[in-house]
């Protein structure tokens, strides 16, 4: 009974990818209840590292376990 949150299925079906930045690849909720878009990483020229800045996103009424919220953008036919 004490593990109700762990047994709850995340509701990721409400993510509206039309609201995402064009280069957003993932959506996730953090432990503080804030949602973010994560974009395809930028590779710094002439270096061997990359970085990606999270951008604020709507929560889409997500009510699941935040640690299970990472959702990759669906691939459209013809994209690759």
Where exactly are the structural domains of the chain? 22-60
- Which SS3 state, helix, strand or coil, does residue 79 take? coil
Which residues make beta-bridge pairs with 20?
Answer: none
Q: Please tell me the pTM assigned to this model.
A: 0.72
Tokens standing for 77?
């036919």
pLDDT (0 to 100) of residue 13:
62
Q: What is the pLDDT along the chain (80 residues), one digit of tens a residue?
A: 444 444 444 445 689 999 999 999 999 999 999 999 999 887 777 877 777 789 999 999 999 999 999 999 998 776 65
Distance, CA of 12 to CA of 71 (rounded, Å): 8
pLDDT (0 to 100) of residue 12:
53
């Amino acid at each position: 009974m004490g593990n109700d949150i762990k047994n709850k299925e995340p509701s990721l079906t409400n993510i509206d990818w039309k609201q995402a930045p064009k280069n957003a690849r993932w959506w996730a909720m953090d432990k503080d209840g804030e949602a973010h878009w994560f974009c395809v990483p930028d590779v710094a020229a002439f270096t061997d590292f990359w970085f990606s800045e999270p951008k604020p996103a709507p929560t889409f009424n997500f009510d699941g376990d935040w640690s299970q919220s990472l959702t990759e953008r669906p691939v459209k036919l013809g994209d690759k």
